[in-house]
Amino acid sequence: MILKERVAIVTGAGSGIGRAGARILAREGASVVIADRRPAAGEETAAIISGAGGKAIAVATDVTDQAQLENLVKCTIDTYGRIDILHSHAGIQVEGPLLEVDPAGMDESWELNVKAHFALARLVTPHMIAQGGGSVIVTSSNSGVFHDHGMIAYATSKHAVIAMTKQMAIDYGKYNIRFNALCPGWVDTPFNEPYIKQMGGRAAIEAYVKEKIPMGRWATAEEIAEGILFLASDRSSFMTGHALVIDGGECIF
């Protein structure tokens, strides 16, 4: 197990990519702290991991609430004594072009897709400095390396979080802390409903996937989780400031 005796926090881990990532980290030996704003979903992920022989606890957390982030980090340190891995994953899609996105929608996108990652990394980094290193993975999107039609709030925030991750990598590499961005493509989860609505419904997105993604299909959450494991582990020990795109070739088509 390549993550034996390491401790990981995963936000947005109650479903989808977050859950798949938490499961693979636990499978490889990490003790995982499951953070999700839906208590039942977080507890379910923790139960799945425990049922498979792994170690996990759930801490209900709204990542836009500073006090709850502080509690998440405190619970992790109180329980396990260290933080080796942070996968800051929770995010939101706000659909629409410039004239259709309410300013509150842009604010919400920025709050969750950028500021929350900043706030949690800021809390975790001192612990990683003190212990001599760590790996921080921030979820962006392949929309952070190219652009989507009619998704100004989402694409803007996802580009910004890649820039922020690169800046943190520059500033904290000397402490042996690696910061990388995870950039998934299309995974068939409820997270994508706003963009599917924007495109015109299910038939439209299925046609897009077949036509515009060179591999002609959706990714599975488990395929994205393999990238999470790579970035969390020593397999990527000399990689920092990188945006790892896993999208079946969509962004180069």
**Per 3-state DSSP, what percentage of the chain is helix, strand, and coil (rounded to 5)?**
55, 15, 30
Sheet strands side by side (includes 243-246): 55-60, 31-36, 7-11, 85-88, 134-139, 177-184, 243-246
For 49, the token pair is 């991991």
Contact in structure between 183 and 224 (CB atoms under 8 Å) = no
Q: Which of 154, 172, 175, 208 is catalytic?
A: 154
**Among this protein's residues, is 154 annotated catalytic?**
yes
Non-local CB neighbours of 232 within 8 Å, separated by 6+ positions: 3, 8, 25, 30, 85, 87, 135, 137
Report how far apart the first and last C-alpha atoms of the chain are (Å, whole number): 37
Amino acid at position 107, single letter: D
Which distant-in-sequence residues (6+ apart) come within 8 Å of 237 by Cβ?
A: 178
Q: Count H helices, E strands: the chain?
A: 9, 7
Annotated active-site positions, please? 154
